């Protein structure tokens, strides 16, 4: 797409409904699907004068020309000049599966049983901007288990760089995945998913951030979106 076409597309996004303020929010596909989507109806009901342009990406440092989001949700404190950063929360990571899958696989109650079962693994592909990537190898090692001791006759292990796909497979009883607390907590709280073991990995230095355009400090609509997200993420 040419620069002119990109600029025209950006302008259409900004002006498609002249009666409303259009804000641009950029976050990961997993955050948009597993955290944001179910909360947006509340935001829109409270802010009927705002429309939202949502951009999802894993590469936050390479935005298309003409696109400058009002707010980012990322794991990077520094996106680009002209943004103010708000620390949100740190990573807490633990295994998750469905209650049905756990009932059918009692061996999952031990770390060794987890290691030797069907593992759905988030690969590092496309995550070069994340300082640390936690997969099953890393998570098990932190808990004293060597994945290289997984028996040859163990069932399959699937690697994918699409976290939404992995969670979809978990929800259809296809194995065990690592759950990032901010993405799966509601599914665990309502019983859709369970934690087969109580072990977890807490990375207090691995923070998520909200970054906000400094030139929007006096923009009422932008500030309302920022404050709403901060309250939801508190």
Maximum Cα–Cα distance for the chain, whole Å?
Answer: 62
Residue 198 has φ and ψ, to the nearest 5°, of -85, -10
My answer on whether 184 and 96 are in the same domain is yes
Residues 52 and 99 in one domain: no
The answer on 69 and 116 residing in a single domain is no
Helices 163-171 and 181-189: crossing angle, nearest 10°? 20
Same domain, 168 and 109: yes
Enclosing H/E stretch for 37: none
106 and 192 co-located in one domain: yes
Same-domain status, 190 and 107 = yes
Task: Kindly tell me if the per-residue pLDDT of 7 is higher than 80.
Answer: no
Query: What is the DSSP-derived secondary structure letter of residue 202?
Result: E
Whether residue 122 is found in the same domain as residue 180: yes
Tell me the CATH number at 14.
3.40.190.10
Check pLDDT > 50 for residue 180: yes
Residues 78 and 140 in one domain: no
What's the mean pLDDT when you consider all of the chain? 91
Q: How confident is the model at residue 62 (pLDDT cuts 50, 70, 90)?
A: confident
In this structure, are 95 and 184 located in the same domain? yes
Across residues 173-184, what is the average pLDDT?
98
pLDDT of 132 reads 63
Residues 45 and 100 in one domain: no
Q: What is the domain range of residue 69?
A: 3-89+206-233
Count the domains in the chain.
2
Same domain, 66 and 127: no
Q: Could you tell me the pTM of the whole model?
A: 0.87
Pairing of strands 21-27, 50-56: parallel
pLDDT of res. 135: 95
Alpha-helical regions (H) of 19-147: 29-31, 40-46, 99-104, 111-115, 136-142
Residues 118-138 pLDDT 10s: 999 999 876 665 556 899 999
Evaluated on CA atoms 44, 67, 164, 201, the torsion sign reads negative
Asked if 129 contacts 59 with a C-beta cutoff of 8 angstroms, the reply is yes
CA distance 72 to 193: 28
Q: Quick one: 114 and 195 in the same domain?
A: yes
């Amino acid at each position: 797409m040419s620069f002119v076409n990109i600029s025209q597309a950006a302008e259409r996004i900004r002006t498609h409904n002249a009666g409303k303020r259009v804000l641009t929010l950029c976050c990961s596909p997993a955050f948009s699907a597993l955290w944001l989507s179910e909360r947006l109806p509340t935001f829109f009901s409270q802010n009927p004068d705002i429309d939202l342009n949502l951009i999802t990406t894993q590469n936050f440092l390479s935005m298309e020309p003409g696109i400058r989001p009002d707010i980012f949700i990322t794991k990077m404190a520094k996106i680009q000049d002209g943004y103010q950063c708000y620390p949100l929360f740190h990573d807490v990571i633990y295994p998750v599966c469905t209650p049905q899958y756990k009932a059918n696989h009692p061996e999952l109650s031990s770390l060794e049983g987890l290691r030797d079962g069907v593992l759905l693994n988030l690969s590092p592909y496309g995550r070069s901007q994340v300082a640390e990537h936690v997969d099953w190898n890393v998570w098990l090692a932190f808990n004293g288990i060597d994945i290289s001791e997984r028996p040859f006759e163990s069932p399959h292990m699937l690697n994918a760089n699409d976290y939404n796909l992995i969670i979809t497979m978990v929800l259809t009883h296809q194995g065990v995945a690592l759950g990032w607390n901010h993405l799966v907590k509601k599914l665990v709280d309502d019983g859709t998913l369970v934690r087969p073991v109580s072990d977890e990995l807490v990375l207090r230095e691995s923070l998520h951030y909200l970054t906000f355009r400094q030139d929007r400090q006096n923009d009422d609509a932008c500030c309302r979106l920022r404050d709403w997200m901060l309250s939801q993420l508190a």
